[in-house]
Chains A and B, each alone.
Chain A
Amino acid sequence: MKLEGGKIPANQLVFLIIGFIYGTVVIINPGRAAGNDAWLAFIVSMLVGLCFAAIYVILAQRFQTKNLLEINDLVFGPYLGKLISLVYLWYFFHLGAIVLRNFGDFLAGIIFPETPISVFLITMVLICASAVRNGIEVIGRTSIILTIITTIILVLTSLLSIPLMDFNNLLPILQTTKLKEFLTTVLISATFPFGETVVFLMIFSTVNNPKKLKLTTLIAFLFGGGLLLIQAIRNIAVLGTLMDIYTYPSYTAVRAVNIFEVITRIEILVVINFLTMGFIKVTVLYYAVSLGTAQLLKLKSYLPVVLPIGILMICLSLLQFESSFENSYFTYTIYPFYALPFQIFLPLLTLLVAIIRGKKGVPG
């Protein structure tokens, strides 16, 4: 039984991971607590994230063509394996709902204050569902173009903000933040967005050249981390210490751009970035959940579960938070500890058990 027949080349995986990492970070700043040292915290957390990713890649390469659920079945046996798979699926599903909610909060709160939030959630889920139904190949191809457009927009907005930048804002380094705050920021941004790449354990198996996975993931992390770094430096240099105040610093930073009174208020470009990258993030999670559910239920195709899962995702994202403040409280204080088991403990456990029990995927 093969639910996904498509194969993606390694270079599409690069774009997918970049899009996934950059995803919600376009708008939400995980380095809030570190103030003007956020950029440094990003570099450290990217290294931590690379350690996470190393585990995923080793796991994926050990089991060649098997995806996360099949690995669980192999390593933990059919019953315990299914339970662990279910836990993973819940995490992907919940993460998808959180990302959706971030979307809704931002759009309904800032851009379209009079439109109900469900409009954005439903439109987004519909468009993601159409991508998911078309399979991983189409998701991969779409991500190439969207990621390139986003990179261009990010570089463009950063260049246009140069007149507003004051690089003294980056100084002093590691003076104003305490070590505890710095480490907190590292933890937050290691789990969000870098650690979230655990979902790619569902996708690594569709890459047509598994030997390239290490290099691919490294490039993607460096590039994705680079985008985050550019954005963080831009925001800090433009906004200075004010950055911590704003919920959506990128939006505010770009808003200030004013070139000869002609190019003004181009913050909508940030929104477009957010939409395209968020689309990739939601789609990858959505795809993982749909594929996983179908696999768990032993269906012949994952298409029938796509729309129901989307509807459930909308419901969860509407119900889970009372307001956008609750959402951001959750993101900064609870989420890192909630996500850690899924991102590091479970994969590490799987890897250790696999090594101890001597389980390996059959190559080819």
Chain B
Amino acid sequence: MFNYLAKKFNLVRLLRKQSTQNANGKKQSGLKISPHLKQNLETLKKTFKESNDFVIREFSFGSKEEPINVALVYIEGLVAKTSINDDIMKPLMYDSSFAGFINTYQPNDIIAFIDERLLSMADSIKVSNLEEVVEGCLDGHTILLVEGETQALSISNQGWERRSISEPQGEVVVRGPREGFTETLRINTSLLRRKIHNPDLVLEMLKVGQKTRTNVCIAYIAGIADDGVVQEVKNRIEDIKTDAILESGYIEQFIEDAPFSPFATIGNSEKPDVVAAKLLEGRVAILVDGSPVVLTVPFLFIEGFQSAEDYYSRPYYSSLVRILRYMGFLFSLYGPGFFVAVVAFHQELIPDALIITISSAMEGTPFPVALEAIGMGIVFEILREAGVRLPKAVGQSVSIVGALVLGDAVVSAGFVSSTMVIVVAFTAIASFVVTSHSDAESIIRFVMTLLGSALGLFGITIGTIGILIHLSALRSFGSPYLSPLAPISWLDLKDTFLRFPLWAMITRPKTIGWNNYQRESLDLIPKPPQKKKDK
């Protein structure tokens, strides 16, 4: 054992040593662009290890006697080829002869001249560092290097294959916008901009991941979002020192408040309207390049029960649906556990007529009721997992085999009682009502079943108190997770169990956007038009 510990210790020491070396190695880079074009190109070739998608196009233009040698470097597939042809090469090689180029040519401002007079590209910046050249290439920029110059032009003409905007599969709505985020960061930010036409919407870019150098964007509305939360988000993201950020889930796991909790403390959505609404309540959104899932913080427990559609349809039915969601959540947590507890310990709770039905169904089944509940729970989770990963056509056959054949056969063969199948099936349906907390739901359901089978309703109550303690102790970026329930804030109950009419939602949530709390004027309730006095 001591050997094992010593090895661990050595490993940790080794890792520490390596990380300091890495830090030292990083400082050495930062080479300036040299005036010799050939030398620059050699360095770049070496940097890219002769990768075959790294393209160098050398050409020259200007007078025959004093040609200007330039080179375009870019990465094949990340740039728009037509734009290079029409907007970079054509002006330089062809249009330059008409622009009085030869006459005004002076060696020291050639870069400025190209940038200001020749290129017909909207977005270009001057760089003077080879590192910036490399980074620009990797971001999909086209770099123009000029012989004899210590600066280069980084021209933004990214163009790669991208998925078109489509309706997200996970968040389907009947009423409301159908568009969803895509994998491209710029498109996602533009979707947000199109929802909120306001210069106060701030987008801040960060680069995360030492190997992947992924673009991460923090979005918030200045004046509504709490500055402390914004700073905290930035700090936490900047502290991530890891190789790769491939999806926003990576960021989520590195910055969440409660890494050991089954409950998520960071929200996510694929819909721009949802994210815009959260931003307007004072939350901060984190967009990650390459992921259509946008994170929002702080995330409260009750957000799992809110859906975008609640706000688009009229309040009465949305309130009813919301209460049903809470019921579904409770049922999916307690369903099997409660059933097991009642059948095993508290039979007196069941009405007389029902207990006869239940007991006759249970007669002859070989396993104790707790084992049935846990076994069927596991079967359900397996069926669900099998259905999710398969293509749609095969997935349907899995659900038919699983639900109809297996469910029916298991009862008629006398393995499991039909009551248990009903309970587990309904629990499964109920668990789909609240998707945000679904992973916590599954885990807690098993725990509750175990507690219920061991200690009856006493166990379940104790388990519930335990969960409550855990939830009350959680915080998401400074906001108590259970607010507005505990700590109670009466104003925010307007959007918790019931969805009040929009004209009654005067304030923003108290724990999130309270430094600018009024979001609408007081007297918005629709009234019949005022009658004229003389009538």
Q: State yes or no: do A and B come from one complex.
A: yes
Residues of A within 8 A of B (CB): 9, 11-12, 107, 111-112, 115, 119-120, 123-124, 127, 130-131, 134, 137-138, 140-142, 144-146, 261-266, 268, 271-272, 275-276, 279
- What are some 20 contacts across the A-B interface (CB < 8 A)? A9-B487, A107-B458, A112-B345, A120-B458, A123-B458, A127-B465, A127-B466, A130-B469, A131-B465, A141-B472, A141-B480, A141-B487, A145-B486, A262-B351, A265-B349, A268-B349, A271-B458, A271-B461, A275-B462, A276-B461
Q: Which residues of B contact A279 (CB under 8 A)?
A: 465
Chain B residues 480-535 with CB under 8 Å of chain A are 480, 482, 485-488
Say whether A144 contacts B485, CB under 8 Å.
yes
Closest to B485 in A: A145
Of B346, B462, B472, most buried by chain A (CB within 10 Å of CB) is B472
Closest to B345 in A: A112
Q: Which residues of B contact A275 (CB under 8 A)?
A: 458, 461-462, 465
Q: How far is the CA of A272 from the CA of B334 in the complex (A)?
A: 15
In the assembled complex, the CB of A263 is this many whole angstroms from the nearest CB of chain B, namely 8
Residue from the list A9, A131, A141, A272 in contact with B457, Cβ < 8 A? A272
Q: Which residues of A contact B473 (CB under 8 A)?
A: 134, 138
Q: Which residues of B contact A264 (CB under 8 A)?
A: 348-349, 351-352
Q: How far is the CA of A134 from the CA of B349 in the complex (A)?
A: 35
Q: How far is the CA of A137 from the CA of B351 in the complex (A)?
A: 41
Closest to A280 in B: B465
Say whether B468 contacts A145, CB under 8 Å.
yes
Additional A-B contact list (6), CB under 8 Å, known A140-B487, A141-B480, A142-B486: A111-B456, A112-B458, A115-B455, A141-B482, A141-B487, A262-B351
Residue from the list B345, B346, B462 in contact with A123, Cβ < 8 A? B462
Q: How far is the CA of A12 from the CA of B482 in the complex (A)?
A: 14
**Which are the 3 A-B pairs with shortest beta-carbon distances?**
A141-B486, A141-B472, A265-B348
Q: Contact mask B438-457 → A, CB, 8 Å, 1/0? A: 00000000000000000111
Please count the residue pairs between chain A and chain B whose beta carbons lie under 8 angstroms apart in the complex: 85
Q: How far is the CA of A264 from the CA of B346 in the complex (A)?
A: 12
Q: How far is the CA of A115 from the CA of B454 in the complex (A)?
A: 11
Q: Which residues of B contact A272 (CB under 8 A)?
A: 457, 461
Closest to A258 in B: B351
Residue from the list B345, B455, B457, B488 in contact with A144, Cβ < 8 A? B488
Closest to B459 in A: A123
Q: How far is the CA of A276 from the CA of B467 in the complex (A)?
A: 13
Q: Which residues of A contact B125 (CB under 8 A)?
A: none
Say whether B469 contacts A131, CB under 8 Å.
yes
In the assembled complex, the CB of B203 is this many whole angstroms from the nearest CB of chain A, namely 35
Say whether A130 contacts B351, CB under 8 Å.
no
Closest to A8 in B: B487
Q: Which residues of B contact A266 (CB under 8 A)?
A: 349
Of B348, B459, B462, B465, most buried by chain A (CB within 10 Å of CB) is B465
B353 in the interface (beta carbon within 8 A)? yes
Say whether A123 contacts B485, CB under 8 Å.
no
Q: How far is the CA of A193 from the CA of B482 in the complex (A)?
A: 30
Q: Contact mask B321-365 → A, CB, 8 Å, 1/0? A: 000000000000000000000000110110111000000000000
Q: How far is the CA of A276 from the CA of B456 in the complex (A)?
A: 15
Q: How far is the CA of A263 from the CA of B351 in the complex (A)?
A: 7
Q: Which residues of A contact B487 (CB under 8 A)?
A: 9, 11-12, 140-141, 144
Say whether A127 contacts B469, CB under 8 Å.
yes
Given contacts A134-B472, A279-B465, contact A268 B346 (CB under 8 A): yes
Residue from the list B353, B455, B465, B472 in contact with A261, Cβ < 8 A? B353
In the assembled complex, the CB of B181 is this many whole angstroms from the nearest CB of chain A, namely 34
Chain B residues 350-403 with CB under 8 Å of chain A are 351-353
Q: How far is the CA of A276 from the CA of B468 in the complex (A)?
A: 11
Say whether A261 contacts B462, CB under 8 Å.
no
Q: Which residues of A contact B349 (CB under 8 A)?
A: 264-266, 268
Q: Which residues of B contact A120 (CB under 8 A)?
A: 458
In the assembled complex, the CB of B346 is this many whole angstroms from the nearest CB of chain A, namely 6
In the assembled complex, the CB of A135 is this many whole angstroms from the nearest CB of chain B, namely 8
